[in-house]
Chains A and B, each alone.
Chain A
Amino acid sequence: MAATTGTAPAVQPLDRQAMLKEAGATGLVIFALAFGLLGFRTLDVPGGIDIQYRFGDVAAAVVIGILGRIALILLREHRPLPVLLTTAPLAVVLLVMLLAKFLFGPETGAELMRFLPFESLVVMWAILIVIVVLALRAARSQTHIASEMTVEDRDARMDRIGAKVQRAARRLGPVLLGIAIIFPFLPFADRRLLDIGILVVTYIMLGWGLNIVVGLAGLLDLGYVAFYAVGAYSFALLATGLDVSFWVALPFAGLMAASAGVLLGFPVLRLRGDYLAIVTLGFGEMIRIILLNWYEFTNGPDGISGIPRPSFFGLAVFKRSVTEGHTFHEMFGLQFTPIHRIIFMFYLILALALVVNLFTMRIRKLPVGRAWEALREDETACRSLGINPRNTKLTAFGIGAMFAGFAGSFFATRQGFISPESFVFTESAVILAIVVLGGFGSQIGVVIAAVLLIGLPEFFRELQQYRMLAFGMAMVLIMLWRPAGLLAHREPTIRLFGKGAAKEAEP
């Protein structure tokens, strides 16, 4: 078999027994998993519950697992040809069967689809993707056998890509911003798209805010949503209780959240890494549970409703008609449509997010920002240089929390209703995932990750049950291949020789 590849350098003879053993073990593991998970399914039948047996599926899963393992072993042992010869036709056949509905009409399609091993089309597509990946890998190693990339090569290459994207981001940033600005006026921008846009930008803002704490200062904060909640509740209580307007309440909500950040910062000053993460996680839960149980103040699980919408800078309101003051559409002589308010909301959050971004870019080049990064790198060395670690950490916590507070106020005024349910741990996890996926400290990375994690799932709501699965899978892949995040490339805050010299120095 080795001779078929021809160019293969010193291919070891294949140990069939070991291969079958390994594949068998894989089959056994899959059987153990699939027997319980796939083998039985409860069905609602009139008058009770019934069990559907799906042993065919179990068998299919085991067979696919064993074959896949064998393919992987062959690839590992530098025998790509047989893998290529089996997977490529298989991929074509599967693709034809899956697309049969469109190719040959619905009847033949349905006929052909009956031969598929699994009923669920999503599963079949997933299997197809795996087969295609295998085929591509086989084709790759068939064409250039010796070009196995080492992990370092790959990391270096990814870092170069990261650097390129960041350099491109300088030009890409304004373009993206331009797109964002004209986005509400594009012909396809309906209410649903605008809502998704608002959501994505909110998470971008939260990601940028958390990036200060996690990416720059290196303080792993798992309870970031607590500050979001403090901001939202501060705003909601001020607006409903004291009738304070959005533009007055916004800075106050930020201030409250920042105080909460400093308050959390004090007891955790000495903690690092995992311990810090656990305490911040606890803090996040504490805030939520306080909001849930302090009924007289926060209205508990009933939440706060009737939060006023923001006015057009206090000049006009977004309503069809008002008894006093002005309405937005009359002020500008437009036809009334509720979309005006949505567009205004979009610009509002965009402006808030941009403030966070500009602030972060600026502060990175200031002593505080550099001290944050230095603190992330080595706290002991910081102390030996006369940097006050306490104040530096507290500023990071405070500023990060303040931005979450702004975002929280926005959330409250957009929803018009908030309850503790909006501020669960999953939210913290998603925001952190955005920062981690984008690459610690990378501004453009956060944008990309927010679009991927928030935007795409909103579009594919139909595949909702697979959403979290894909989410988890993406995180695992990132951790395997790019533990520092997609675009983890750090641009120096100051250079001695300018950028041109740096490029020349690079090979």
Chain B
Amino acid sequence: MSAETAIAEGATSPDLLGPIPGGGEAQLTVEHLTMRFGGLVAIDDVSFQAADARITAIIGPNGAGKTTVFNCLTGFYKPTVGRLALHHPKGEFLLERIEGFRTAQAAGVARTFQNIRLFPRMTVLENLIVAQHNKLMRASGYTVLGLFGLKRYREAEEKAVELARYWLDRTLLTKAADQEAGNLPYGDQRRLEVARAMCTEPVLLCLDEPAAGLNPRESQVLNELLLFIRDEHKMGILLIEHDMSVVMGISDHIVVLDYGRKISDGTPEQVRNDPAVIRAYLGEDEEDEPAGETAAGPESAAREGEERDA
């Protein structure tokens, strides 16, 4: 059954029957997601669920379609086929119908980027204030009231700074608050991007390779931050990551993609022992891979940027 007909018939994907690996209530349900660019099928009929207050990792070799899944979820692409249902406190949002900036504005899906996208010439604090744009825009009476320096806007801005301060403290960036974001060390920039996403007060946080380029100590700090967000804020986190120490260390649930198809779905333990995953990362036995590459293991599996995905 093709994804199109499956969606048309309203059939639930067999992948979605049964409880979510890693536990929790379903927050995001992805059904029959397919994305084609002309003749190229970047994602082919992928279905999975992500639970709230759990960390769901999407992993896979380069070009597997991970970032494309993210772009569909966050409104950067409109999926060719598929239903992306987000269970939001305000009701259910169908993300495939929401496009562009509204995904973040209305549905509360925040994301970070594989190649850091901060506002480099603005200060760290300003980055976090810009993230609260929509809230402040309403408070400033869409600029008109703010121009006259109304108290309501000043209070809203103070609150925004408080929220920013909270996340600065959490991401150990308080001291750097008045520095230009572009001058921060790489690891700080990564954490600032997470803080900025959190300042939009999202319901679902999508992180695209947050640990890329971090040293072991920095990725340990990041792990703690993500666990804090999950446990204290009960927030669902969707994570693309190549760094297996991060993925295996903090994920509750792992979805493995390869060539745009889902090849495995389960707890870290299940995925680690899944022959399909080992095949995708280490190659087939009969293909006679050179020994060196096999020894490298999934940890080092291709850190370079996914041009095809981006």
Interface centre among A384, A387, A502 (most CB of B within 10 A): A384
| Cβ proximity bits A370-384 to B, threshold 8 Å, 1 near / 0 not | 110110011011111
Q: Is the CB of B123 within 8 A of A492?
A: yes
Q: In this complex, what residue of A is CB-closest to B130? A: A374
Q: A371-B130, A494-B126 are in contact. Are A389 and B178 (CB under 8 A)?
A: no
Q: Is the CB of B102 within 8 A of A497?
A: no
Q: Is the CB of A363 within 8 A of B147?
A: yes
Q: Is the CB of A495 within 8 A of B178?
A: yes
CB contacts (< 8 Å) of A385 on chain B: these are 101, 104, 110, 130-131, 133, 196-197, 200
Q: Is the CB of A492 within 8 A of B125?
A: yes
Interface centre among B102, B111, B126 (most CB of A within 10 A): B126
Interface centre among B105, B113, B130, B168 (most CB of A within 10 A): B130
Q: Closest Cβ of chain B: how far from A399's Cβ, in Å?
A: 9
- Complex Cα distance A113/B118, Å? 62
Residue in contact with A370 in the complex, picked from B126, B168, B174, B197, CB distance below 8 Å: B126
**Interface assignment of A368: CB less than 8 Å from any CB of chain B:** yes
Q: Closest Cβ of chain A: how far from B131's Cβ, in Å?
A: 5
**Interface assignment of A386: CB less than 8 Å from any CB of chain B:** yes
**Interface assignment of B121: CB less than 8 Å from any CB of chain A:** yes
**Interface assignment of B140: CB less than 8 Å from any CB of chain A:** yes
**Interface assignment of B120: CB less than 8 Å from any CB of chain A:** yes
**Interface assignment of B282: CB less than 8 Å from any CB of chain A:** no
Q: In this complex, what residue of B is CB-closest to A366? A: B146
Q: Is the CB of A387 within 8 A of B121?
A: no
| Cβ proximity bits A489-503 to B, threshold 8 Å, 1 near / 0 not | 010111111000110
Q: Is the CB of B143 within 8 A of A366?
A: yes
Q: Is the CB of A373 within 8 A of B133?
A: no
Q: Is the CB of A386 within 8 A of B119?
A: no
Q: Closest Cβ of chain B: how far from A250's Cβ, in Å?
A: 19
Q: Is the CB of B105 within 8 A of A388?
A: yes
- Complex Cα distance A496/B164, Å? 10
Q: Is the CB of B147 within 8 A of A386?
A: no
| Cβ proximity bits B139-151 to A, threshold 8 Å, 1 near / 0 not | 0100100110100
Q: In this complex, what residue of B is CB-closest to A496? A: B177
Q: Is the CB of A494 within 8 A of B101?
A: no
CB contacts (< 8 Å) of B113 on chain A: these are 380-381, 384
Q: Is the CB of B121 within 8 A of A367?
A: no
Q: Is the CB of A381 within 8 A of B117?
A: yes
**Interface assignment of A125: CB less than 8 Å from any CB of chain B:** no
Q: Is the CB of B126 within 8 A of A386?
A: no
Q: Closest Cβ of chain A: how far from B289's Cβ, in Å?
A: 37
| Cβ proximity bits B21-40 to A, threshold 8 Å, 1 near / 0 not | 00000000000000000000
Q: Closest Cβ of chain B: how far from A240's Cβ, in Å?
A: 33
Q: Is the CB of A497 within 8 A of B119?
A: no
Q: Is the CB of A383 within 8 A of B104?
A: yes
Q: Is the CB of B196 within 8 A of A362?
A: no
CB contacts (< 8 Å) of B126 on chain A: these are 370, 373, 492-494
- Complex Cα distance A370/B129, Å? 8
**Interface assignment of B100: CB less than 8 Å from any CB of chain A:** yes
Interface of A is mostly: helix
- Complex Cα distance A362/B150, Å? 12
Residue in contact with B140 in the complex, picked from A367, A373, A384, CB distance below 8 Å: A367
Q: In this complex, what residue of B is CB-closest to A502? A: B178
**Interface assignment of B77: CB less than 8 Å from any CB of chain A:** no
| Cβ proximity bits B145-161 to A, threshold 8 Å, 1 near / 0 not | 01101000100010001
CB contacts (< 8 Å) of A505 on chain B: these are 178
Q: A381-B119, A387-B130 are in contact. Are A494 and B161 (CB under 8 A)?
A: yes
Q: Is the CB of A370 within 8 A of B133?
A: yes
**Interface assignment of A359: CB less than 8 Å from any CB of chain B:** yes
Q: In this complex, what residue of A is CB-closest to B111? A: A384
CB contacts (< 8 Å) of A496 on chain B: these are 125, 161, 164-165, 168, 174, 177-178
- Complex Cα distance A367/B161, Å? 13
Q: Is the CB of A386 within 8 A of B125?
A: no
- Complex Cα distance A385/B106, Å? 11
Q: Closest Cβ of chain A: how far from B134's Cβ, in Å?
A: 5
- Complex Cα distance A204/B133, Å? 30
| Cβ proximity bits B168-180 to A, threshold 8 Å, 1 near / 0 not | 1000001001100
Pairs of residues from A and B, 4 with the lowest C-beta to C-beta distance, nearest first: A386-B105, A386-B104, A377-B119, A496-B177
Interface residues of A (CB under 8 A from B): 359, 362-363, 366-368, 370-371, 373-374, 377-378, 380-389, 395, 490, 492-497, 501-502, 505
Give 5 CB contacts A-B under 8 Å. A381-B119, A386-B133, A495-B123, A495-B177, A496-B164
Interface residues of B (CB under 8 A from A): 74-76, 100-106, 110-111, 113, 117-123, 125-126, 129-131, 133-134, 136-137, 140, 143, 146-147, 149, 153, 157, 161, 164-165, 168, 174, 177-178, 196-197, 200
